[in-house]
């Protein structure tokens, strides 16, 4: 995995705590840096606990009874239980997960797989990412069987020519076929980065990058999927073999023709 620089979080309106002016003053330290206070929960010692979405990361915050001091991170009770864990998980697996999935749907992605596939998976892909190419290869049994459709959200973050290569793929008359050839290594060494991409392609790649930051992805591949219970989950980096069936479903025994 390769870490990337942070960009400002995509703004969204909190359905729970829309009136930021009513929040304790120390929370402005969070909101002024792009964070969003999304819920409040009971905390010990007359403090108030809050859940925040900070640049795609779900964090817990605590305000002292006099509303003058702010603490961040986990708070443990005498038994080692994380006081804010349930509230954070409720948001992460509920409103945030659904919002993130809708945001992914609005990105500019390239399809890999059948339109009638029962399962849809989103993954952020950089043309220079070897782990993205390995994930592509590892997913062939599911995609070729028509069971899974993978939607590749192209970004250009790893090398100087990543953006140009992503633009070259997205500008093609048949980007699905070009991406397929590229990930199969037929074009990996010969694809020339686009030096002056069309304005609309630049805009699409910028939106993809912003969405990547907004959903908390910090490396490629970053793969989003629904687990067996329907919850949205994210796998950062190349999924291990043990996780492939959770992401893509049962391994197909036969390929569809």
3-state secondary structure string across the chain:
CCCCCCCCCCCCCCCCCCCHHHCCHHHHHHHCCCEEEEEEEECCCCCEEEEEEECCEEEEEEECCCCCCEEECCCECCCCCECCHHHHHHHHHCHHHHHHHHHHHCCCEEEECCCCCCEEEEEEECCCCHHHHHHHHHCHHHHHCCCEEEEEEECCCCCCCHHHHHHHHHHCCCHHHHHHHHHCCCCCCCCCCCCCCCHHHHHHHHHHHHHHHHCCCCCCCEEEEECCCCCEEEEECCCCHHHHHHHHCCCCCCCCC
Indicate the pLDDT class of residue 2, thresholds 50, 70 and 90. very low
Query: Looking at domain 101-248, what is its CATH homologous superfamily?
Result: Glutaredoxin (3.40.30.10)
Considering the chain, tell me which residue range(s) the CATH 3.40.30.10 domain(s) occupy.
101-248
pLDDT of 10 > 80? The answer is: no
Rounded to an integer, the average pLDDT of 156-179 is: 95
At 206 the pLDDT is: 97
pLDDT tens for each residue of 20-65? 457 899 999 999 998 899 999 999 999 999 999 987 788 999 999 9
Q: In what order do the strands lie in the sheet with 119-125?
A: 109-112, 148-154, 119-125, 222-226, 232-236
- How far, rounded to the nearest angstrom, does the alpha carbon of residue 246 sit from its chain's CA centroid? 17
Rounded to an integer, the average pLDDT of 218-233 is: 90
Q: Considering just the CA atoms, what is the radius of gyration of the chain in Å?
A: 21
Rounded to an integer, the average pLDDT of 226-251 is: 92
At 56 the pLDDT is: 78
Share of the chain above pLDDT 90, in %: 71
Rounded to an integer, the average pLDDT of 151-177 is: 96
Residues 31 and 73: their CA atoms lie apart, in Å, by 16
At 158 the pLDDT is: 95
Instruction: Provide CATH code, domain 20-93.
Output: 3.10.450.70
pLDDT of 94 > 80? The answer is: yes
Residues 114 and 36: their CA atoms lie apart, in Å, by 37
pLDDT of 111 > 60? The answer is: yes
Rounded to an integer, the average pLDDT of 206-223 is: 94
Indicate the pLDDT class of residue 232, thresholds 50, 70 and 90. confident
Instruction: Report which of 74, 25, 78, 28 is spatially closest to residue 49, judged by C-alpha positions.
Output: 74
The first and second tokens of residue 26, run together, are 């120390």
Indicate the pLDDT class of residue 112, thresholds 50, 70 and 90. very high
Q: Are 110 and 169 in contact (CB under 8 A)?
A: yes
């Amino acid at each position: 995995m390769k870490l990337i620089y942070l960009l400002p979080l995509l703004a969204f309106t909190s359905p729970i705590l829309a009136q930021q002016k009513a929040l304790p003053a120390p929370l402005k330290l969070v909101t002024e840096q792009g964070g969003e206070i999304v819920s409040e929960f009971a905390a010990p010692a007359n403090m108030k606990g809050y859940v925040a979405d900070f640049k795609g990361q779900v964090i817990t915050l605590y305000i002292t009874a006099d509303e003058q001091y702010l603490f961040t991170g986990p708070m443990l009770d005498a038994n080692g239980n994380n006081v804010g864990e349930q509230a954070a998980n409720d948001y992460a697996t509920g409103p945030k997960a659904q919002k993130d999935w809708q945001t992914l749907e609005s990105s500019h992605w390239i399809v890999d797989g059948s339109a009638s596939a029962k399962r849809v998976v989103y993954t952020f892909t950089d043309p220079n990412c070897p782990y993205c190419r390995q994930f592509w290869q590892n997913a062939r049994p599911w995609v070729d069987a028509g069971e899974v459709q993978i939607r590749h959200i192209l970004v250009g973050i790893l090398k100087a020519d990543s953006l140009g290569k992503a633009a070259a793929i997205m500008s093609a008359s048949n980007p699905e076929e070009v991406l397929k050839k590229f990930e199969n290594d037929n074009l990996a060494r010969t694809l020339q980065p686009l030096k002056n991409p069309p304005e609309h392609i630049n805009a699409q790649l910028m939106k993809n990058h912003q969405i990547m930051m907004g959903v908390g992805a910090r490396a490629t591949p970053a793969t989003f999927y629904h687990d067996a219970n329907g919850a949205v989950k994210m796998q950062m980096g190349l999924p291990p073999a043990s996780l492939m069936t959770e992401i893509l479903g049962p391994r197909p025994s036969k390929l569809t023709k």
